[in-house]
Structure 1
Amino acid sequence: MTTTMYGISNCDTIKKAKKHLESTHHAFTFHDYRKDGLDEQLLCQLEALFGWEAMVNKRGTTYRQLTDEQKQSLNKESAIALMLESPAIIKRPILLSGNTALIGYKAADYDALGA
């Protein structure tokens, strides 16, 4: 089973999630949006799994810096364009492992991967 974690390496939540996987000896590859890139095809695949609303990190600095008009006019197309332009706005981490797709980090969800 191949496991891939998507995110940005300097994110504290990514660091916690990586540490969890490493401590449980769960092999994974890490895809850093900034270093490894992010293309529209991958973004559309992830959006199909989670929906754009779940993917937009509304608690992060990037989202808070948007104007009220930008926030109110977000839709699937504008959100995907924004995520391509500013990957930091994507909720992290995104984990794909076999038939399991997770967004965000919850230790219990990660523990279930090994079951």
Structure 2
Amino acid sequence: MIVYGIPNCNTVKKSLDWLKENKIDFEFHDFKKKGITAEKLNEWCKVFGWETVLNRKGLTWKKLSKEDQANINNQEKAIAYLIDNTSAIKRPVIEKEGQPLLISFDESLYAKTLA
């Protein structure tokens, strides 16, 4: 299992803590340091939808002008933006056996899906 995120994100921290408490093995992929590919983002968008993968609640997104935000209006533009601005990816994303499984952190969903 791979957990994608950035280590200083509170939601990622909650997720990692839950996984450790439940003794679930995982590998952590820090996309601030390791980056992320368009191919990987496309896979996530297929499962979760590009509008879910793009985190519109974070500071990275909010720093954009309203015009720039309005211009990111499809998956292709969102992915181009996310490759350069990995902090705007909703996180964490959990993959199991190479398949996107969960996005963000919801304890009950984690318990149902992973435990």
What residue in structure 1 maps to residue 83 of structure 2? 84
Specify the code of the residue in structure 2 equivalent to 1:91: K
1:49 aligns with 2:47: yes
Specify the code of the residue in structure 2 equivalent to 1:26: I
Q: Is the 8 A contact 2:43 2:100 kept in 1?
A: no
What residue in structure 2 maps to residue 93 of structure 1? 92
**Structure 1: how far apart are the matches of 2:49 and 2:100?**
15
Structure 2 gaps of 5+ residues are: none
Structure 1 gaps of 5+ residues are: none
What residue in structure 2 maps to residue 15 of structure 1? 13
Q: What's the TM-score once normalised by structure 2's chain length?
A: 0.91
Q: What count of residue pairs does the alignment treat as equivalent?
A: 112
For structure 1, which segment, 74-83 or 15-24, has the greater mean C-alpha deviation from structure 2 after superposition? 74-83
CA-to-partner distance for each residue in 1:26-65, whole Å, 9 max, x for gaps?
Answer: 1111111012221111111111111110011111000101
Structure 1 segments of 4+ aligned residues over 3 angstroms from their partners:
none
Partner secondary structure for residue 91 of structure 2:
coil
CA RMSD of aligned residues (A): 1.3
Identity of aligned residues (%): 34
Partner secondary structure for residue 36 of structure 1:
coil
Q: What's the TM-score once normalised by structure 1's chain length?
A: 0.91
